[in-house]
């Protein structure tokens, strides 16, 4: 089984700037029922997939996604080098023996990147 989180977005240009330009996801596909209708899009990075949706009834903004990852310090450095004006995340030691970095998208959704110390 695979779970794919749905995250509510309101502005595709802002979502693309955040998820693609800054976080380094790629757009796998986009879908609209007709021109001018809400967008539904899949983005992915290193095997992780997210569905971003402008559809009102799909989900609520403010979700939090826990992302298990490797090489978090290097990814953190890459993000800071991009100088994204709206987010400058830090690295923090967690209470569960890991290193974490939390980012918040322009719509209030949060991604908590986590690297356990034994996975370095």
For 117, the token pair is 């110390």
Distance CA 2, CA 29 (A): 18
Q: Report yes or no on whether pTM surpasses 0.85.
A: yes
Alpha carbon distance, N-terminus to C-terminus of the chain: 26
> Homologous superfamily of 6-119 in CATH?
2,3-Dihydroxybiphenyl 1,2-Dioxygenase, domain 1 (3.10.180.10)
Distance CA 80, CA 78 (A): 6
Judge contact between 53 and 5, C-beta under 8 A. Answer: no
Give the burial class of 72: count Cβ atoms within 10 A of its Cβ; 0-12 exposed, 13-18 middle, 19 or more buried: buried
Q: Going residue by residue through the chain (120 aa), what tens digit of pLDDT does each one get?
A: 999 999 999 999 999 999 999 999 999 999 999 999 999 999 999 999 999 999 999 999 999 999 999 999 999 999 999 999 999 999 999 999 999 999 999 999 999 999 998 754
Domain extents in the chain: 6-119
């Amino acid at each position: 089984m695979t779970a794919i989180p749905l995250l509510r977005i309101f502005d595709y240009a802002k979502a693309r700037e955040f998820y693609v330009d800054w976080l380094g996801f790629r757009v796998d596909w986009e879908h609209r029922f007709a021109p001018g209708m809400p967008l539904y899009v899949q983005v992915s990075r290193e095997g992780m997939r997210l569905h971003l949706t402008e559809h009102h009834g799909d989900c609520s903004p403010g979700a939090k996604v826990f992302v298990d990852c490797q090489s978090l310090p290097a990814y953190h450095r890459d993000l800071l080098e991009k100088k994204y004006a709206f987010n400058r995340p830090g690295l923090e030691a967690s209470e569960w023996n890991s290193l974490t970095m939390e980012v918040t998208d322009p719509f209030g959704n949060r991604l908590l990147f986590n690297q356990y110390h034994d996975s370095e």
